[in-house]
Structures are given as structure tokens and as C-alpha cells.
Structure 1
Amino acid sequence: MKINWGTSIVIAFALFMAFILYFVVKVQENSKYDNELVVEEYYKHDAHFDEEMTKLQNTSNLKEKPTISVGPDGIRISFPDGVSPNDISGNVSFYRPSAKKLDFTRSLRLSGQSMLVPINDLAGGRWDMTMDWRYKGGSYLTKQQVYVD
């Protein structure tokens, strides 16, 4: 039986498609490759986009902004000295892009002018931190990526 070049090309394409399909099926079935959404309710989240942009603008208009630093004891969120800790309320959310199971949210509770999130609560790697807070009637949003060793 003689195979011409046209038949060879069709066989090569078929083998290549089978090869690609094999890997697609393998990745979809393996729990090691987690296929999680970044945000569970994407459309509900996007409906508040304008509100989020307003809060970010409010934060950028502040003369003194809160600072976020990573140290050996954890992540420290510090507010300027002129800010009254009793007037601040809100939440701090930690989002782990690589593993949804590690995501968590904490209430913003200041001890003095700062709050510490202990290093024991954070796995090593990248964290996307979002601090949604209120101070004297104003709403603010601070976003920052932090890396924990």
C-alpha cells in the first residue's frame, strides 16, 4: 500500500489533534490543575465597579495613606498618626491567586495605629490584598500585592 503526501498530511493532523485532546482531557480530570474562577459571581462583582473606582480615587486623594509592609512577624497595616483608630472600620481581604482555599477576610481591628496579620496565617508566595475601609463618613479602598517568604 502506497501513501501519498496528501494522506500523510491528514494522518499527521489527526495525530496532532489526538495529542492535544489527550492533554486537554488529562488537565481537566486531574485535581492537581485547579480550574477555579477568580471571582465566584463575576457579574455581581462588576456591577460595583464604579463604586470601587470612587473608593480608589478617595484613597489616592488622601494626603497620608495607610502603609502595608511585610516583616518577619507578618503583614503590618499602619495608619498615619493623625488618624483616630476608633473612627476606622472595614475589612481586609487576602486573595491567593494560586489557591482559592487559602483566601480569607479579616475585620480591620487596629491596635494603636496598626494591625498585624500574623505570618502563621499566610502561606508563602503572592497575595493580593484588598482593604475596604471607612473613616469619618468616607469610603476608601486600598489594593496591594504582597509577597510572603
Structure 2
Amino acid sequence: MNWGHKIIIVFVVFAAGIITLVTKSMRTKIDMVTKDYYAEELKYQQVIDGKVNARDLSAPISISQQSEGITVTFPQELHGSNLSGKIKFYRPSDAAMDVEMPLILNNDGRQMINRQLFSKGNYLVKVQWENQGKPFYQEASFHVN
């Protein structure tokens, strides 16, 4: 085999490698943190204010898991308050596993969430609520077993 054939083989192998990389990259699923990240960025001052207000509470929100579900417990001073907001369980590895729901507390300041909604793994829990016109925000890492 002469050197001209060897050069052609190298070009063919290179082209096949490039085509393989392009095909794989086109099939790779890319999840963004949020679909509308620009609008979320504009509202980020509310998150900053909410974090400051949440630090002033007597205790942070606690998240625990039992066999029947995951419990989100609010501090004592918020029990019985008329809170409005949402809880988002953000799964960094797969956006299809995110769980978001409205904040509906019982009289003890707790919300029970069905365990069947979750897959095992790490979540970032983002709790955003409003109490008497004042914004609150708290994030916590959480692992579902």
C-alpha cells in the first residue's frame, strides 16, 4: 500500500469520527435550569430579599422523610398563618424528575408530600412563600432514599 492510500484512509477515519461526534451531540439531552431563565434572572432580587427575611425566622424550614412521604415543616411563628407560595424539588440530573406544588400547610405548619412522586437521588428543595406581603425564600439540599 502506498502513502496516498494511507492518507485517504486517515481522512476517511477522521471523517467517520467527526460524523460520530456530531451524531452523538445531536442526540444528547440538554436540560436548562429553567426554560425562561432571562425572566427568572430579572426577578432574582425577590429571591435575595426572601433569603434575608427567612434568616430572620426563629428556625429554618425542616425537611424530613418517613415511609409514607416527605414532610416540610415551617417554624412555630408561621403556624396558622395564611401563607401562599410553592415548593419545588429540583433534580439537577434530569428536569423530567422535578416536582413542583403549591404550598398547603396544615394547622401544625406542615405539608406532607407523597413519596411516590420522587425517584431516589439528590434534589435541591426551593421553598418560596409570602406572608403578609413579605417574601420569603429558602433552599436546601435533600436526598430521597
| Superposition TM-score tier, normalisation by shorter sequence | 0.7 to 0.9
Aligned positions, number? 144
Q: CA RMSD in A?
A: 2.7
* TM superposition shift of 1:117: 0.9
TM-score, normalization by structure 2: 0.80
Equivalent residue for 1:82? 77
Q: What is the CA–CA distance in structure 1 between the aligned matches of 2:87 and 2:78, rounded to whole Å?
A: 18
Percent identical pairs in the alignment equals 24
Of 104, 126, 131, 1:130 maps to: 126
Residues 48 and 14 from structure 1, CA distance in 2 versus in 1: closer, same or farther, beyond 3 angstroms? farther
Query: How do 1:1-149 residues align onto structure 2 when only pairs under 5 Å count?
Result: 3=3, 15-16=13-14, 18-29=16-27, 33-111=28-106, 112-149=108-145
Name the structure, 1 or 2, with higher relative contact order (CA <8 Å, separation 6+): 2
Q: What is the CA–CA distance in structure 1 between the aligned matches of 2:58 and 2:14, rounded to whole Å?
A: 59
In structure 2, the gaps of 5 or more residues are none
Report the AA paired with residue 86 of structure 1.
S
TM-score, normalization by structure 1: 0.78
The answer to whether the 8 Å contact 2:122/2:141 transfers is: yes
